[in-house]
Amino acid sequence: MDVFVIKGGKKLNGSIEVGGSKNAALPILAATLLTEQKCIIENVPNISDIRTMLKILKNMGSRVQFANNTITTETGKDLRPEAPYKFVSTMRASICVLGPLLARAKYAKVSFPGGCVIGPRPIDLHLKGLKELGASIDLKDGYIIARAKRMRGKVIYLGGNFGSSVLATANVMMAATLSQGTTVIENASCEPEIVDLAKFLVKMGANIQGYSTPTVIIKGVKRLNGVQHRVIPDRVEAGTFMIAGAITGGNITVKKVVPEHLTAVLDKMREVGIKLKIGKDTIGVSAGSRIKSTDITTLPFPGFPTDLQAQFMTLTTLADGISVITEKVFPRRFIHVSELNRMGANIFVEGASAIIKGAKKLSGAAVMASDLRASAALVLAGLVASGTTVVRRVYHIDRGYENIDKKLNTLGAQILRQKE
């Protein structure tokens, strides 16, 4: 098992490029199941979650090639509409194959999904939406078994206790593309990754309107075609790099980014004293003399993203005063708090909020990554901490960041990947 050994205290300087979005690429890969024709997906990060999705597609009969961040898929007539536990158990986004399988094969057997341990993430909205389209669903032996002789469009409300659901929106939207009639998704997710999926489906021949709004209208078509598509940049990776530059007191430029996808994050960075220079597809970051405290509430897009909550918390551990971070998307997503406290942070959690009293410094320690974004937060802490930090279980970070250690090292970080 790999660990990161980080020697902290190095200012990061220079330029760094953002890769393709994991959270956009995964449902797009699932959507390739909707056609028998070849699809070419560019700008796909070479990370473990993507490789897991490709194993699922291959298990279903897809022919897959992956080279130079480009994936070619072709799922002909020999589609096997089953996603087994050994793959699905490691990655929640694998649930996205459910909608495409129902739409094309009228049958799906998909294991309950796994993924990061960040609190309950029920799939009730997925099942509700697919049932509304006409599917019958049984839950048996840890599998979702869905059948649909005929799927018809309907007005479907997808609101949950914590707002809209990204993956449920993706599943219902994909299933609706080949359903009869018109489907209207109310309270649909507006995340950039959903917009990218919708654009991919439209290229395939789907009839979708309103996909950047909470009301998405899908008029079913008879068939979809293979297409070529380039995945959007990863806004979470971009945000992580921006915070890395800020927390180390450096001066960096993040390239190949869409600033409009990070509006809430940029606003908070300015609020805490970070200087920003925004270009068409670049963001320059330079730190002020001292980080200021702030209050943050995570919300669905265009609000502050939950996937950058842990990383921004690391930044606030060194702020003047007291910061409060309230988690409205995954209220239990605070497993990283205890590990940051081991490094000298002063954080306590009360309900869905974390209260952070700024410390003068962080100190290197041996810490354990618990999930994908928490592991990124610990790497950021290691960059600024005095001494040496050892981050264990970095397989979590490999799920969502392609060569993050090598990329940060090009800016002046000292991160060594080694076997434990």
Instruction: Kindly report, residue by residue over 69-104, the tens digit of the pLDDT.
Output: 999 999 998 899 998 888 887 777 788 999 999 999
Residue 329 phi/psi, 5° resolution? -100, -50
Cα separations in angstroms, 348 against 118, 339, 352: 17, 12, 11
Q: Which amino acid is at 202?
A: V
- In the predicted structure, residue 217 carries a pLDDT above the cut 70: yes
Helical ranges in 108-262 per DSSP H: 124-132, 166-176, 192-204, 235-247
| 404 shares a domain with 347 | yes
Residue 111: enclosing H or E segment and its boundaries? strand 107-111
Domain that holds residue 294: 2-19+233-419
Q: What pTM was estimated for this model as a whole?
A: 0.95
Q: Which amino acid is at 139?
A: L
- In the predicted structure, residue 158 carries a pLDDT above the cut 70: yes
| 155 shares a domain with 31 | yes
Tell me the three state secondary structure of residue 163.
strand
Q: What is the mean pLDDT of residues 32-53?
A: 96
Q: Which amino acid is at 195?
A: V
- Tell me which of 207, 230, 253 is where a domain ends: 230
Chain length of the chain: 420
| Mean pLDDT rounded to a whole number for the chain | 93
| Relative orientation angle of helices 235-247 and 263-271, to the nearest 10 degrees | 10
| 27 shares a domain with 12 | no
Longest dimension (CA), the chain: 64
| 80 shares a domain with 40 | yes
The number of folded domains in the chain is: 2
Q: What confidence tens digit (pLDDT) does each residue in 97-132 have?
A: 999 999 999 999 998 875 444 343 468 889 999 999
| 122 shares a domain with 57 | yes
Cα separations in angstroms, 34 against 80, 108, 133, 234: 13, 13, 16, 24
Least Cα distance to 209 among 229, 183, 230 occurs for 183
**Residue 420, number of CB atoms within 10 A of its CB:** 9
Residues annotated catalytic, as ranges: 116
Q: What is the mean pLDDT of residues 195-217?
A: 97
